[in-house]
Amino acid sequence: SREEVEAKVRVFAEFFEQRYRRRVSPDLQNLLVENLAGLPLTAVEAVLARLLTTGRIDVTEIAQAKAEAVASVFPYLRTVKLRGGFETVGGYEPIKRLLRKRFIEVIRNPEKATRYGLKPGRGVLLFGPPGTGKTTIAKALAYELGLPTFTMSAEVYSHWYGMTEKNIERMCDILDKAAPDVFLLDECDKLFTKRGSPQEHETTRRMKSQLLEWLAEPDRRTIVLATTNLIDELDEAFLRPERLELIIPVPYPDAQSRVEIIKVHLR
């Protein structure tokens, strides 16, 4: 419960202040509570233990600690290693501007966003030919958001009848409890191909339906970042606006973008 998390955070703040002689302000304590409320107490304790060890309490450190704690408790999710923000992406300025406007600025300025009636984006699909940097852009966006970032683990799949669907249900529940967070669906065409094919396995079809239902929930706070080389093979239901607000093409880079990419790699 939230009350239990608040109690854990208060005790953590006392230990932190004794060890580092630095005050944990009420704002920082509230930030911790907001990020940890809803998680199992074992995950909450793991996050606080890591922060006590590192001596750092900031958005990036909290997000990383939270991601690792959740992934250690629940095998259906694994953390995504993020190397940096948009400075790691050469070129593609129109795409970066759009993502900043729809995602980053809204999340970083919640009071201003509320004043203008803006809600943060909940889903984006980046599509285009292989090698254009779709995954790099998605990971850079996740880093800029400063939220714990997960992807689906192979342990979701089970050879026991009905167990895969139960694991998917549990995974979605975990993502909801850990929210706000990011769920990366790299090469999502492997999962969200068109339904109804004679070759489609019954378990796969039910799993898709479960995920589509979760993606359409109006109160979902998990941001979904998806990439694909094969947009024509995706199920139309996956592409609906209630699941993915933005569908952005990532073509081969133009001349100026290629210069910027070279600069990034020769830095």
What is the pLDDT confidence band of residue 108, given thresholds at 50, 70 and 90? confident
Token pair listed for 13 = 């703040």
Taking the C-alpha atoms of residue 123 and residue 120, their distance in angstroms, rounded to an integer, is: 9
Alpha helix (H) residue ranges in 21-133? 26-36, 41-54, 59-73, 93-99, 105-108, 110-115
**Does residue 203 have a pLDDT over 80?**
no
**Does residue 223 have a pLDDT over 80?**
yes
Q: pLDDT, tens digit, for every residue of 2-16? A: 888 899 999 999 999
**Does residue 199 have a pLDDT over 70?**
no
Mean pLDDT of the chain: 87
What is the pLDDT confidence band of residue 185, given thresholds at 50, 70 and 90? very high
Higher pLDDT, 217 or 39: 217
Token pair listed for 265 = 């790699």
Percent of the chain scoring above 90 in pLDDT:
39
Going from the C-alpha of 165 to that of each of 211, 220, 221, 233, 235, the distances in angstroms are 10, 19, 21, 23, 19
Q: pLDDT, tens digit, for every residue of 81-102? A: 888 899 999 999 999 999 999 8
What is the pLDDT confidence band of residue 158, given thresholds at 50, 70 and 90? confident
Tell me the residue ranges of DSSP E strands in 104-221: 123-127, 149-152, 181-185
Mean pLDDT of 54-76: 83
What is the pLDDT confidence band of residue 107, given thresholds at 50, 70 and 90? confident
Q: pLDDT, tens digit, for every residue of 121-156? A: 889 999 999 999 999 999 999 999 888 899 998 877
Mean pLDDT of 233-240: 91
Lowest average pLDDT, out of 29-38, 119-128, 186-195, goes to 29-38
Taking the C-alpha atoms of residue 184 and residue 139, their distance in angstroms, rounded to an integer, is: 8
Taking the C-alpha atoms of residue 218 and residue 17, their distance in angstroms, rounded to an integer, is: 40
Q: pLDDT, tens digit, for every residue of 39-63? A: 888 888 888 988 888 888 877 788 8
Higher pLDDT, 58 or 249: 249
Q: Give pLDDT, residue 198.
A: 62
What is the pLDDT confidence band of residue 260, given thresholds at 50, 70 and 90? very high
Alpha helix (H) residue ranges in 74-123? 93-99, 105-108, 110-115
pTM: 0.83
Q: Give pLDDT, residue 200.
A: 65
Going from the C-alpha of 93 to that of each of 16, 32, 123, 256, the distances in angstroms are 41, 33, 20, 10
